[in-house]
Structure 1
Amino acid sequence: MEQASINTNRRHQMEARRAARRKKKKRQTIFLCLLLLIIILLMILMVFKMLDSNNIHEIDQIKTVKEAAYTEVPPENIVKEEEPPVPSSAPIPVSVIPGESIHSASGYLVRLRDQAVVMNKAGTEKIYPAPLTKIMTIIVAIENLSNLDENVMISDEIINTLYTQGAAMTGFVGGENLTVRDLLYGSMISSGAESCVGLAQRVSGSEDEFVNQMNQKADGLGMNNTHFVSCTGLPGDDNYSTCKDMAVLFEYCLRNDVFREIFTSDTYTTSVTPPHPNGIVLKNSVLSELTENNLTNGGVIEGGKESFTNSSGQCLASLSKIGEDEYILVTAKSDGNPKSEQYHISDAVSAYNLIN
């Protein structure tokens, strides 16, 4: 009995110890869980704190940038961007040629690509364009006569009147049928007055009406100091222009392919007609004289139209190509004459040679 009681007490003690261990383990588990929860909460708080700190920094940066955008930067602190390279099509400066380099009293030299003035010697002073007038005659005829093979008859009246006036002639005779092309080349290469009047009458019915068209064209091109009274350029006080105005006209004409072809031709043979069964061979003598004088800078003279009267002196409109650029030169009022030194030729060669 006593032994049983002892065994019972031992069992109770053991259960009590086991229960105490379970309680202790449970308390330890609860403590560890609480500790882990605290650690997790602390970590979450630290993460939020870091995020808030970063947001504040970003806001400060944005605010600084905005403030900088509205803050004037001192000029010395501005970083200048590199200027872009100049495109090849931009105007290239030209060296201005002094007017003293030519004999003629007036001269105007222009680069065609951008109308840069290379020389201006009394370019706006009044001149008498004489047969340079025929440049306007030719372009007005080209723009009004589309069929260059159309026939035009030169009358006896035209021939007789012009011979009486002492005008330069192509060599056609009264009653001869020529093409418009023949008359255009005759007007340019041989400076034939009968060719000019034949074109004028074909375009407008009369020379007077044609001259009105010439003056209208001059007004349209801004040739404000120019007035024509004839299509041939025969002397007359009211037939006047300037080298600058004639250069404006010349530049305009060279845009026309038909005009350019005629202007740069050295020879042309007119149509076969009964009076001229082999045609008339026209030779551009002024172009021959110009090309005989080689340019020392490697350029070439492509075309030329000369004129002379006692009131105009020697005049010349010429075209050259130097390097990749074309140039036009109009000179007037040189002291020479057809039997003297050809100053208008030497002037063109001298001026073109001075272009680099």
Structure 2
Amino acid sequence: MKITKLILAAVLTANTMNIPVHAESQETNSSASTLSLDVNLESDDAYVIDPENGQILLDQNSDEKIYPASMTKIMTAVVVLESGISLDQTVTITDEMLNGLYEAEAAVVGYSTGDTPTVRDLLYGALLPSGADAVNALAYTVSGSIDAFVQAMNQKAKELGMGNTHFVNPTGLHDDNHYSTCKDIATLTAYAVQNETFRQIFSSSSYTDTLGNLMYSTVAGAIERDNISLPGFVGDKTGYTDDAGHCMASYAELNGMKIITVTAHAMTDIYDTAHLKDASTILNALNSWSRKTVLSSGDTLGSYMAEKVIGRTEETVTSSQNITADVPNEAKIAVTTDLAESYKVTNKDQTKQLNVTITADGKTAAETSQTFTVPKASDFFNRVLIFFRDLF
């Protein structure tokens, strides 16, 4: 009985002592704005992301409804490449594949009924000169009909989480019910460039098919003619209709960054290169940025006091992962966390969440969450005191 009374007295005394136990969640610098490119574009809508670390580098109306025009053909190529069809299979061009394209003033490779290009030829024809004849031939060959192929396109969009996208055709010819967003097209492009065959076609400036047709990328000539600077540029797919304006999805690798850029609704003359100028503006601005490893696994994030009933110990928290960020080269980088000054020790290990924020010149560049463990009390006396403390 005497021992029990002494223990209870110690617990009650410890509970009334002025031992500061701080809140377990301290507010980080929530007023900091998000790091973003500061550029002026001709396009109304734009989205720039590094898909490798998920960092959004520019968001300008990225969820606004757009008409994707020929950027649609990125999805067309994805569906074909994932269908399992042989790229060396020959396809006989039929009247049905060419029906209505002339009347719609669609861009074409120039195939005629009876021609026998390969599936690989048709993919190049779809992505380089943006040939609707090549696209329709692929759709009929893979799915048997345009409608069935479009159904496969929409199913893939759903799988990729493109929740604001709906396809009506595989060409991108205008239809009010054929729409997307810059963010969704960026998701699609980031997915597509992981396919080696797609990247090879996507990044080509010209191609000669098995029938001897020489094809050129829709932008290769304009880039050379207008001397447009595109540092790190790998490949692109452009589009244009009267309703869509100029639009473009591109991929670049620059200073360690992987950059997906989608711009849309540049309402300029059909012969203007507003989409290329915007891509140039974005990539040249990013040329003074780079991917940096801000934290490495094992780096110290901070320390806290582990508050026991009797006594306290200092514990160190280290990063459990590498954290990278795309930041301006001259920016001042800072790392902050919501680690509390102290945590109350119990008789069980406690898993806590720690939010880590990376800022560049005071602007948020990256945010991530990690976990750490507040260790349980290890000495017998504190374990007994904690047991009685937690009864009250």
Aligned positions of 1:18-37 closer than 5 A: none
Checking the alignment, whether the CA contact within 8 Å between 1:247 and 1:328 is kept in structure 2 is yes
1:343 has 2:274 as partner: yes
- Name which one, 1 or 2, has greater alpha-carbon Rg: 1
Deviation at 1:166, TM superposition (A): 1.4
In structure 1, what residue type is equivalent to 2:118? T
2:36 aligns to what? 96
Higher mean C-alpha deviation, range 281-290 or range 179-188: 281-290
Aligned positions of 1:17-56 closer than 5 A: none
2:60 aligns to what? 121
Checking the alignment, whether the CA contact within 8 Å between 1:157 and 1:174 is kept in structure 2 is no
1:309 has 2:248 as partner: no
- Structure 2 unaligned runs (5+)? 1-9, 21-32, 290-392
Higher mean C-alpha deviation, range 157-166 or range 176-185: 157-166
**Structure 1 Cα separation of the partners of residues 194 and 55 of structure 2:** 17
1:294 aligns to what? 229
Deviation at 1:302, TM superposition (A): 1.1
1:266 has 2:205 as partner: yes
2:188 aligns to what? 249
Deviation at 1:118, TM superposition (A): 0.3
In structure 2, what residue type is equivalent to 1:241? S
Determine helix, strand or coil for the equivalent of 2:109.
coil
Deviation at 1:75, TM superposition (A): 8.0
Checking the alignment, whether the CA contact within 8 Å between 1:315 and 1:344 is kept in structure 2 is yes
In structure 2, what residue type is equivalent to 1:133? T
Distance 1:206 1:74, change over 3 A: farther
* CA deviation map 1:327-354 (0-9, x unaligned): 01000000213223x1111100001111
* CA deviation map 1:64-98 (0-9, x unaligned): xxx9xxx899989xxxxxxxxxxxxxxxx994114
Checking the alignment, whether the CA contact within 8 Å between 2:46 and 2:262 is kept in structure 1 is yes
2:213 aligns to what? 280
* CA deviation map 1:123-169 (0-9, x unaligned): 00000001111110010011003410001111123224211221110
In structure 1, what residue type is equivalent to 2:155? Q
Comparing both structures, which one devotes a greater share of its residues to helix? 1
Determine helix, strand or coil for the equivalent of 1:152.
coil
**Structure 2 Cα separation of the partners of residues 309 and 75 of structure 1:** 69
1:208 aligns to what? 147
Tell me how many residue pairs correspond in the alignment. 266
2:326 aligns to what? none
Deviation at 1:318, TM superposition (A): 1.1
1:192 has 2:123 as partner: no
Checking the alignment, whether the CA contact within 8 Å between 1:94 and 1:116 is kept in structure 2 is no
1:48 aligns to what? none
Determine helix, strand or coil for the equivalent of 2:222.
helix
**Structure 2 Cα separation of the partners of residues 323 and 94 of structure 1:** 21
Comparing both structures, which one devotes a greater share of its residues to strand? 2
Distance 1:255 1:75, change over 3 A: farther
- Structure 1 unaligned runs (5+)? 1-66, 77-92, 274-278
1:319 has 2:251 as partner: yes
**Structure 1 Cα separation of the partners of residues 242 and 18 of structure 2:** 69
* CA deviation map 1:216-237 (0-9, x unaligned): 1111111110000000111100
1:169 aligns to what? 108
**Structure 2 Cα separation of the partners of residues 254 and 135 of structure 1:** 10
Deviation at 1:285, TM superposition (A): 3.7
**Structure 2 Cα separation of the partners of residues 290 and 124 of structure 1:** 29
**Structure 2 Cα separation of the partners of residues 234 and 148 of structure 1:** 25
TM-score by length of 1: 0.69
2:366 aligns to what? none
In structure 2, what residue type is equivalent to 1:132? M
Checking the alignment, whether the CA contact within 8 Å between 2:62 and 2:182 is kept in structure 1 is yes
Checking the alignment, whether the CA contact within 8 Å between 1:109 and 1:328 is kept in structure 2 is yes
Distance 1:321 1:94, change over 3 A: farther
In structure 1, what residue type is equivalent to 2:112? V
**Structure 2 Cα separation of the partners of residues 162 and 238 of structure 1:** 19
**Structure 2 Cα separation of the partners of residues 123 and 162 of structure 1:** 31
**Structure 1 Cα separation of the partners of residues 104 and 233 of structure 2:** 33
In structure 1, what residue type is equivalent to 2:245? G
Checking the alignment, whether the CA contact within 8 Å between 2:85 and 2:142 is kept in structure 1 is no
TM-score by length of 2: 0.63
2:7 aligns to what? none
Q: Runs ≥4 in structure 1, deviation > 3 angstroms?
A: 71-76, 287-292
**Structure 2 Cα separation of the partners of residues 316 and 180 of structure 1:** 24
**Structure 2 Cα separation of the partners of residues 151 and 220 of structure 1:** 30
